[in-house]
């Protein structure tokens, strides 16, 4: 009994110690760290929102967003900035590691931070809206181009003014696509500091004062603060990975192959299932990207022409048209968008070669199958010799080219082992007669 009491007492003390340690840790200072590496797309909106909310609930000193991006979608960028501006804890954007960049949409996000920081050997700038038509291929009118450009310039001016940063440089980054290194950005008052790594940044942030949206001045205290990494969930990571032009194109290609294989070989099931799943994922991915619908229609037309080539005899006309339609559709699928939303030309060439090769194989198989069918039709059976397996009285069974057939004979009795001649075919029944004996 005494031993049981001691065990229970020890258990209670352990629980109490864990509770005290947990409480102390919860009351301690912490910093939430998010990582954005890649294009700015809608998946990041929920990720940034969750990270900021988590920091607010834990009373974190700050949220640090480690940023490395070539740019992305304007709508996603604006939603992310809204979450940053309305955050109850200071948001620090750290362009890192060395070699990273904050281009296009990344410029807006960096300048919207309460504290903007860059690592050595990084760059910021080139925020001109590419969709306006830098390459001269945009379908927008000059008036619309000017409206979009003026809107982006006004937005970044507002962001820069709100954080006391260089308004003139910010507008030039939009209108003239200027860029700056970390040293130049610091001298131009585009960023607040340079830090070699995350630990150095946290040390430099200690005692830094920022002004929140409501005008409250907050002092960031990072001394002895714990770092709380806030990674994406598995689903977010997967969705973010497939929201890439090249991945979307690969998914669309696999979907095309799977569905074509199922159409030409009904009952295989597996290609159809894989193709259907990839098609839905491709739709999701394309929905996250600035898609040119003319490109999608041309790719759909290419698939239709490929199917038509197999089902009809066009002597390669549909195939040639399908290849041309596929290549053009692939090239313009993201036409007018930022270069980060362009499909790799080598990927387009590879997919086109694979699809053409698969189509050629399917056509070859189809032609071979049609030829076999002609050889095993009624024309092949009539006049041929079969072997009696079950005596004909007058019905029985004969054996012809590895198959058993039900047979009927007009003669009274033909015994097993005798040879007969196939006179006619009635469905699956052969009408036969005894094979004449050869004269000696």
Which residues belong to the active site?
A: 104, 147
Helix-, strand-, coil-residue percentages of the chain, each rounded to 5: 50, 20, 30
Max CA pair span of the chain: 121
Q: Which of 99, 92, 32 is nearest to 59 (CA)?
A: 32
Q: Are 327 and 347 in contact (CB under 8 A)?
A: no
Q: Which of 374, 415, 424, 376 is nearest to 396 (CA)?
A: 415
If phi > 0 it is left, if psi is from -120 to 50 it is alpha, else beta; for residue 121 that is left
d(CA 281, CA 251) in angstroms, rounded, equals 7
3-state secondary structure of 73: coil
Helix (H) or strand (E) segment spanning residue 95: strand 91-95
* Three-class SS of 274-334: HHHHHHHHHHHHHHCCCCCHHHHHHHHHHHHHHHHHHHCCCCCHHHHHHHHHHHHHHHCCC
Q: Helix crossing, 345-375 with 293-311: angle to 10°?
A: 20
Backbone angles phi, psi at 154, to 5 degrees: -65, -35
Please count the CA atoms within 13 angstroms of the CA of 291 that sit on its side-chain side: 23
């Amino acid at each position: 009994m005494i031993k049981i009491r001691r065990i229970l007492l020890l258990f209670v003390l352990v629980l109490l110690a864990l509770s005290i340690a947990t409480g102390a840790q919860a009351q301690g200072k912490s910093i939430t760290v998010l990582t954005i590496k890649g294009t700015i797309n809608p998946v990041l909106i929920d990720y940034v929102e969750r990270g900021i909310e988590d920091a607010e609930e834990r009373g974190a000193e700050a949220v640090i967003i480690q940023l490395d991006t070539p740019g992305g979608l304007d709508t996603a960028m604006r939603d992310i900035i809204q979450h940053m501006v309305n955050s109850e804890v200071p948001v620090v954007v750290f362009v890192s590691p060395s070699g990273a960049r904050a281009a296009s949409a990344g410029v807006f996000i960096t300048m919207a931070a309460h504290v903007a920081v860059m690592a050595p050997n990084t760059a910021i700038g080139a925020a001109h809206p590419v969709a306006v038509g830098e390459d001269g291929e945009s379908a927008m009118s000059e008036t619309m181009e000017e409206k979009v450009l003026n809107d982006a310039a006004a937005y970044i001016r507002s962001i820069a003014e709100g954080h006391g940063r260089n308004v003139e440089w910010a507008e030039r980054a939009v209108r003239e696509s200027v860029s700056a290194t970390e040293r130049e950005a610091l001298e131009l008052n585009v960023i607040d500091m340079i830090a070699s790594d995350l630990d150095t940044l946290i040390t430099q942030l200690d005692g830094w004062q920022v002004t929140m949206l409501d005008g409250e001045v907050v002092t960031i205290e990072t001394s002895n603060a714990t770092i709380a990494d806030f990674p994406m969930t598995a689903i977010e990571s997967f969705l973010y990975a497939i929201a890439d032009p090249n991945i979307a194109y690969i998914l669309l290609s696999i979907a095309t192959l799977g569905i074509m294989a199922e159409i030409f070989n009904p009952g295989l099931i597996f290609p159809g299932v894989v193709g259907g799943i990839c098609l839905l994922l491709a739709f999701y991915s394309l929905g996250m990207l600035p898609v040119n619908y003319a490109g999608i229609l041309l790719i759909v037309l290419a698939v239709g022409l490929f199917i038509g080539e197999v089902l009809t005899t066009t002597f390669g006309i549909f195939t040639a048209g399908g290849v041309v339609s596929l290549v053009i559709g692939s090239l313009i699928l993201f036409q007018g968008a930022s270069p980060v939303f362009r499909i790799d030309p080598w990927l387009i060439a590879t997919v086109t070669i694979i699809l053409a090769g698969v189509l050629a194989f399917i056509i070859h198989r189809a032609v071979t199958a049609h030829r076999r069918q002609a050889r095993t039709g009624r024309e092949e059976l009539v006049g041929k010799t079969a072997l009696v397996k079950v005596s004909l009285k007058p019905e029985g069974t004969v054996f012809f080219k590895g198959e058993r057939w039900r047979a009927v004979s007009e003669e009274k009795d033909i015994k097993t082992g005798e040879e007969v001649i196939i006179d006619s075919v009635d469905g699956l029944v052969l009408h036969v007669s005894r094979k004449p004996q050869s004269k000696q």
